[in-house]
Structure 1
């Protein structure tokens, strides 16, 4: 009897399983059709050939009440990302009154270069201030625009928020300013800057690092005291910018902060003495310190100005700790996590992704990395193809959860650097998304 029941039940079970799978597949297909229809109706086409920038007018409504706009990118090395962002920045400055541009580049370098912009060409200002991955014709155009706006009396102010210093821009500029007041202090500054740049690489033991660090900290403290006691004389020789003296003082203090925190951990990693059992602890510390620098820029340096931020999606998205899977598979805190809530409320964050093409690997600015194409089914990149336009913007912040938009509220795959899968709920990470159908590797200029 039991065998007869089993024989009768098995075919029925198979039928149920098949029907269940078919039903789930049908529901998914139906759901995706709702998503595609919504995307077709609500995605804003971007038209780079439109000199009037009428296609960007939707930003006035999307950004209402937001003092800070963050422009991300899934890879640093794509020409179309650069061109799209440059075009948006000009519109934000001219039409919506955003007057500060903060780059994911060294605070000291970007500010020193901007203060000396009058003495430099656009190309030279770019190369002295931001990381080499953005040394492209599109970005030179942006720097030419900034120079032009400054000369017209409607400046788009350049600043940065990264702690990594990869140039001698601050050393060159600051030495010139200090030398006009006290040549001996200028020599101390120059030597300290040189020693700072090689502190970790030229230290072979932790004791050696600690001794060198202690000497350098005293040097920078002496320079800060000098700057405070000779403030009026220094201000007479600094560029005629309202914030020049504050930037100079903060740059000196930042050197101390970086040595006491970030470089301390760099040295431990060099000697394989890992903090908190995390091998790349400095990776997360960099984001924490970038958040601190940006907070200083937004609340102390330019508290009344509207700010545009240029950086990678990873740093700018709102809360990496809520990612279901990030590209390093640790879901550690990013810059967005570390920002205070009061700043987050003032911020509109835009992630930028691509459907196809290739970009540069920023480790050498030479290796070409292809985008996974076609992208995974149901991914952000695949879904936005339904817009049937080469470039679109989708507002996420002002969109409620319903049939056509549930893709923003449910787990979604998106590709880091165009090929590494990450999983997130879009609504938790971005306020808007830009999608480009095709990207090509940036052309780095010499």
Structure 2
């Protein structure tokens, strides 16, 4: 089959004509420039807000602005984060009632990717907004990932001891077998805890400490979570609705993480299981018809696949919600971001990475071609425009970086290929990014 030729000038003209140009990236001032986005999202219940890196200031500030718009103008009531379920409870408690502090709650999540001044500003805004609203209209903040916190282990164990003590020992043995007793275990936990520990887990898989296999242990934990769900009435009577709810949530997270950890670290199978559980968590939040904004990496929100060819969270959500799911990727032309540097002793830790303007024929280069700065573009509006659809359905080079970056991806300048029509309903394009400001480092490097 002959390779299709993309009419770049025609696509550039369409981008210039159709773009929702952003007057600002910082969450300050009015949101009038986002008004056309309301029409784009008519009939949409779940919005995936992606990012091409986990450490770009402008991605975080723009997503803050978008969330303000979704909440204020479109009645979105749930913010779902790519972070552990249990550890995000403190953030939700803070934005609901002011319990604790925003900084302590965010640091307690254990993901250095989100422990930044930009995300902290979002949490503080959510508290300010909720303080002005009646309880029934307040926004909720939930984690959807399977990173494990020791507090979740102890919470479930204590609950079992209280209501069904004969199940406690099997639960604890399963935890020991999967090595889940330490904070931030599992694939989701690769961005939690110390950077040195993160990198070590990439290169060395710990031996099982228990007496049963990891897959058997994961089945025990899955059975624990299922038991808590099916026996709800009796367990609530023996405890309380809140205690039961928190135990179910923590047990489900532990079970999911154990299932992921039963596969080789960062394997395609493990990644596929993780994304399925991410989608399941979003579905639980949206089951009552609430509108949900999901904060995650581009690879998770994409409608089709992640780079390893496995079904993404967005693929599962697309299957369930169809056009009521909107995948908005965020990408950039040039600039810097922070990530953990993959390496050995003396060459790890949070570092700044800088990329030059996008290479010719890449997705990002064409997005930059109109020269209109930062903007949103809706691909659904292009379905009857042949030159544009030719571009959207032709694979093109692109860049995408996760929480951990090695030397080789930076040298390559592009990290993969994407067919935009398959992956995204729209994109937010930012001309230049800068490094996010880490709270742990005091905003200075």
TM-score scaled by length of structure 2: 0.75
What is the aligned length?
390
- Which residue pairs with 1:229 in the alignment? 234
Question: Equivalents in 2 of 1:201, 1:342: separation in Å?
Answer: 37
- TM alignment of 1:212-223, pairs within 5 A: none
Find the aligned partners of 2:44 and 2:117 in 1 and give their Cα distance.
30
SS of equivalent residue, structure 1 residue 367: strand
1:411 pairs with 2:395? yes
Query: Hey, which bits of structure 1, 4+ residues long, moved more than 6 A?
Result: 172-176, 179-185, 187-194, 210-227
1:205 to partner: Cα distance: 7.5
* Paired residue secondary structure (2:262): helix
Q: Give the Cα separation in 1 of the matches to 2:224 and 2:283.
A: 26
Distance 1:256 1:382 in 2: 43
Unaligned runs of 5+ in 2: 183-204, 342-347, 402-409, 441-445
The aligned runs of 1:200-279 (5 Å cut-off) are: 201=206, 203-204=208-209, 207=212, 228-232=233-237, 234-235=239-240, 238=242, 245-259=244-258, 261-265=259-263, 269=264
**Structure 1 pair 392–179 and aligned structure 2 pair: CA distance change class (3 A):** same
Higher-Rg structure is 1
Cross-structure match for 1:17: none
Which residue, out of 361, 367, 387, partners 1:378? 361
1:330-384 CA deviation, whole Å, 9 max, x = no partner? 423222233362323311110111100111224666122222x231212221112
SS at match of 1:33: helix
Go from structure 1 to structure 2 and tell me whether the alpha carbon gap of 1:229 and 1:349 turns closer, same or farther (over 3 Å shift). same
Given the superposition, is the C-alpha separation of residues 365 and 95 from structure 1 closer, same or farther in structure 2, using an over 3 Å criterion?
Answer: farther
Shift of 1:71: 0.5
Instruction: Identify which of 53, 66, 71 aligns with 1:88.
Output: 66
Q: Mapping of 1:31-430 within 5 angstroms?
A: 31-48=7-24, 51-111=29-89, 113-115=91-93, 118=97, 119-129=99-109, 131-152=111-132, 153=134, 154-165=137-148, 167-168=149-150, 170=152, 195=176, 197-198=180-181, 201=206, 203-204=208-209, 207=212, 228-232=233-237, 234-235=239-240, 238=242, 245-259=244-258, 261-265=259-263, 269=264, 280-299=268-287, 303-320=288-305, 327=307, 330-339=308-317, 341-362=319-340, 366-371=350-355, 373-399=356-382, 400-403=384-387, 406-417=390-401, 419-430=413-424
Task: Note if contact 2:85-2:143 (Cα within 8 Å) is conserved in structure 1.
Answer: yes
Deviation at 1:249, TM superposition (A): 2.0
- Aligned with 1:123: secondary structure? helix
The answer to whether the aligner puts 1:433 opposite 2:427 as a matched pair is: yes
Go from structure 1 to structure 2 and tell me whether the alpha carbon gap of 1:169 and 1:354 turns closer, same or farther (over 3 Å shift): farther
What is the deviation of 1:113?
4.3
Q: Partner of 1:6 in structure 2?
A: none
Q: Which structure carries more helix by proportion?
A: 1
TM-superposed CA distance for 1:441, in Å, is 1.5
Secondary structure of the corresponding residue to residue 85 of structure 1: helix
| Distance verdict in 2 for CA 1:120–1:57, change over 3 Å | same
Kindly state the Cα deviation for residue 128 of structure 1 after the two structures are TM-superposed.
2.4
CA distance in 1, matches of 2:416, 2:211: 37
In 1, are the aligned partners of 2:79 and 2:294 still within 8 Å (CA)?
A: yes
Contact residue 71 and residue 311 of structure 1 kept, 8 A: yes
For residue 323 of structure 1, what is the aligned residue in structure 2?
Answer: none
TM-score, normalised to structure 1, is 0.75
